[in-house]
Structure formats: C-alpha cells, structure tokens
C-alpha cells in the first residue's frame, strides 16, 4: 500500500449546485476503504456557491470537508479541477484518492495522476481489501472482461469510480467541519475559461440525474418515430437516451448517447426500446436498478441483462404502454 494515510474523496455538483448522484457513491466507496487506508475520510467538493451542498454531502460519511468554492470552479474545467485535486493530495497526503468517473472526472483525473507521477485505475466498479492490500476491479474490452489492479508502488492509489457501481451514501452519518480550501491557480490553469453555461436541452441535460431513462435504438426505423420514446419518457417523468447507431445516423444529438463512447447512466428504471443490447451500449446502462427491454427478437442480447423483457413489435407495445401509464397516473 502507499505510504500516506486516509482517503481523499472528490465530489462534484451539477448545474443547480446539488451534489451529483455519483458524489454520494464515491463517498460510500471511500467509507468502504477507509480501514485499509488507515485513516479518516477527507472530502473535497468543487464548484461555485456550494457551502450547503458540501455540508449535506460531507455528512454522508466524511470526517472533514474541504470546499474549493470559487467562480473558477463552475463548470469544472479540467486544468482548474486538476489543480484543486493535486493541491488537496499534496496537503492531505492520502493513501487512496477516489474521484467520480464522470465526463469531468475522466478529464481531470489523468491530469492529476500525471502531475503526481502516480498510476490511475480508471472506471472501477468494485474495491476490495484483503490482508491490508487494496484491489480495484475495472471492466476492460468493452465490459467483456474484468481486471484487478493493486497499488504496490503508486503514491497515492488513484481511482475513478464508474457511476452505478456503489450504493449511494445518505446524509446525516457524520457532522464534519467544512473548511474553505483556497487553491493557488497558476496562469496555465486558467488558459481556458468558461464563457457561458447553457443547457443542452431540457431532456438531454437531465440524463445524468434522471430516475427514469427511456432509450431508443435503430428498431425505431426512422427519426420521427422517436416521438414514441419521447412520449413514453414523458409519461414516466423520465429523460430520453439513444444508441450510437441512431446518433451516428443523425437521428438524435450526441449528448443523448448511452454507452462506451457516450454517457454512463444508472437510473432506477431504464427502458430500452428497439435496442439490440450491444456490449458497447450495455456498459453505459447496466448499473440501472431495473432494466425493461422491448424488442421483437427474443434472442436480442438486451434480454440477457433485462429485469423484464417484452418480446413484441415496439410500434404496438410502446403506444399501449404509454396509454396505460397515462391512464394509471390520471
Ligand atoms: C468502439 C465502439 C464504441 C461503441 N460505442 C457505443 C456506445 O457508446 N453506445 C452504443 O449504443 N453503441 C456503441 N457502439 C455501437 C454498438 O456496437 C451497436 O452497433 C449499437 O449499440 C447498436 O444500436 P441499436 O441497438 O440501436 O441497433 P441494432 O443493433 O440495429 O438493434 C436494433 C434492434 O431493434 C430491434 N427491432 C427492430 N425492429 C423492431 C420492432 N418493430 N419492434 C421491436 N424491436 C425491433 C431489433 O431486433 C434489434 O435488436 C460502439 C461500437 C464500437 C465498435
């Protein structure tokens, strides 16, 4: 194990200033490895105007909360976030650093590792401790295989956590001190600045935090038929997602793409409509609590990971489902 002690856990907030769902997961992961890390849990939250969010988030298990709270941290630009995390590591000397495997985390975590000349186990789905050794498990080859990573020489053990891999910690477990963490930003860290933060569209921008996601694939035949997916999503109060096949075809915007080269989501309910279930799609949604698949091919791979499967023509099944949900809700 590395020679430092304790865990540094990094959290992020969404555009509304609330902790992202994965922030609660990384905190739960931090608590699970605090023993092997031989110390407490220090939590670092980055954003602008985040004092209340930091207090609530940190109370889910941190012993100490640091807030990098300044306008420069809004939007979490990679160099600025990397500067904050690097400085927090240098000041707290943790044995283990856990970061969210978000789009931002995938940008800043490798920068931090490079600056510290440490290794990085990215996109981990499990952490184990045996005989005082920490092991992280991460999927490779598009989810077809798992590798186990140990950290004999790295200082510290740097890990990003894939969304949906850990149960979320709940607030109220601890009453940590919340301390402002003033970061020294070099001119190079500020070469890129945020000019404007604009919503990508009401539906797509909600994908990360939506409790329900309804995704459509090539089975919808043409872009206009995505109205069926939108209506089902609307009836469930959910967000719309898409496969790469339909994004590449120009039917849907890229920010709706779920999968290896798109977003990772872990809603309570994921409905896959006319989606075959290619491994590259599944890695982005298989952490969902319940998966419902609608496909006319009984052998479609999506049924292997579905909690509930409907074998049928989506053009019959989806309108009937939407009507039944609307009836039940009215
Ligand atoms: C390096 C790499 C990265 C990739 N990254 C991603 C990624 O991030 N996300 C992603 O999604 N894909 C990704 N892909 C592509 C992936 O391999 C698949 O090609 C893609 O997911 C298939 O999309 P689909 O399910 O919409 O289409 P298809 O595979 O064509 O499936 C369509 C499904 O619709 C069903 N269907 C057809 N008509 C009906 C009907 N009337 N009623 C009900 N069902 C019907 C069919 O039975 C079929 O199962 C990647 C591929 C590579 C090589």
**pLDDT > 90? residue 141:** no
Instruction: State pLDDT tens for residues 228-244.
Output: 999 999 999 999 999 99
Locate 320 and state its tokens: 């009937």
Domains and CATH numbers, the chain: 7-190 (3.40.50.620), 204-329 (3.40.50.1220)
The predicted structure's pLDDT at residue 37: 78
Summarize the confidence of residues 251-265 as an average pLDDT.
Answer: 91
Residue 129, strand partner residues:
134
For ligand 1, the distance from its centroid to the CA atom of residue 314, given in whole angstroms, is: 15
Instruction: State pLDDT tens for residues 167-210.
Output: 899 998 899 999 999 999 999 999 998 888 776 555 445 787 78
The predicted structure's pLDDT at residue 204: 47
**Helix 314-329, helix 226-236: angle, nearest 10:** 20
Q: Is the CB of 90 under 6 A from ligand 1?
A: no
The predicted structure's pLDDT at residue 305: 96
The predicted structure's pLDDT at residue 187: 94
Q: Is the CB of 219 under 6 A from ligand 1?
A: yes
Q: Is the CB of 248 under 6 A from ligand 1?
A: no
pTM of the full predicted structure? 0.69
Q: Are 31 and 166 in contact (CB under 8 A)?
A: no
Preceding amide of 245 cis, omega within 30: no
Instruction: State pLDDT tens for residues 266-287.
Output: 899 999 999 999 999 998 999 8
Summarize the confidence of residues 129-133 as an average pLDDT.
Answer: 85
Minimum mean pLDDT range among 28-32, 33-37, 217-221, 286-290 = 33-37
Q: Compute the CA torsion angle 246, 77, 169, 49 (nearest 10 deg).
A: -120
The predicted structure's pLDDT at residue 142: 65
Preceding amide of 289 cis, omega within 30: no
Query: Exposed (0-12), middle (13-18) or buried (19+): which is 192, by Cβ within 10 Å?
Result: exposed
């Amino acid at each position: 194990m590395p020679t430092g002690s304790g865990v540094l856990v990094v959290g992020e907030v969404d555009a509304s200033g609330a902790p992202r769902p994965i922030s609660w997961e990384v905190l739960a992961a931090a608590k699970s490895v605090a023993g092997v890390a031989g110390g407490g849990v220090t939590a670092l939250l980055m954003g602008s105007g985040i004092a209340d969010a930091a207090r609530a988030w940190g109370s889910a298990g941190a012993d100490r909360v640091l807030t990098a709270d300044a306008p420069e941290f809004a939007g979490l630009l990679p160099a600025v976030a990397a500067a904050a995390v690097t400085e927090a590591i240098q000041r707290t000397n943790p044995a283990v650093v856990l970061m969210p495997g978000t789009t931002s985390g995938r940008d800043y975590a490798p920068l931090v590792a490079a600056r510290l000349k440490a290794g990085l186990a990215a996109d981990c789905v499990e952490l184990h401790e045996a005989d005082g050794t920490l092991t992280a498990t991460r999927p490779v080859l598009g989810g077809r295989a798992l590798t186990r990573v140990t950290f004999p020489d790295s200082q510290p053990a740097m890990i990003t956590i894939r969304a949906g891999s850990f149960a979320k910690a709940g607030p109220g477990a601890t009453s940590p001190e919340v301390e402002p963490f003033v970061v020294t930003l070099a001119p190079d860290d500020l070469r890129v600045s945020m000019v404007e933060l604009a919503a990508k569209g009401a539906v797509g921008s909600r994908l990360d935090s939506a409790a329900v996601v309804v995704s459509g694939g090539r089975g919808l035949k043409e872009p206009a038929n995505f109205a069926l997916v939108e209506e089902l999503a609307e009836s469930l109060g959910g967000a719309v997602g898409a496969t790469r096949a339909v994004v590449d075809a120009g039917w849907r915007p890229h920010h709706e793409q779920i999968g290896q080269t798109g977003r990772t989501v872990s809603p309570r309910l994921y409905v896959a409509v006319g989606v075959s279930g290619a491994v590259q799609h599944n890695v982005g949604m298989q952490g969902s609590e319940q998966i419902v698949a609608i496909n006319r091919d009984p052998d479609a791979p999506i049924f292997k990971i579905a909690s509930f499967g409907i074998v049928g023509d989506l053009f019959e099944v989806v309108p009937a489902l939407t009507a039944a949900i609307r009836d039940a809700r009215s």
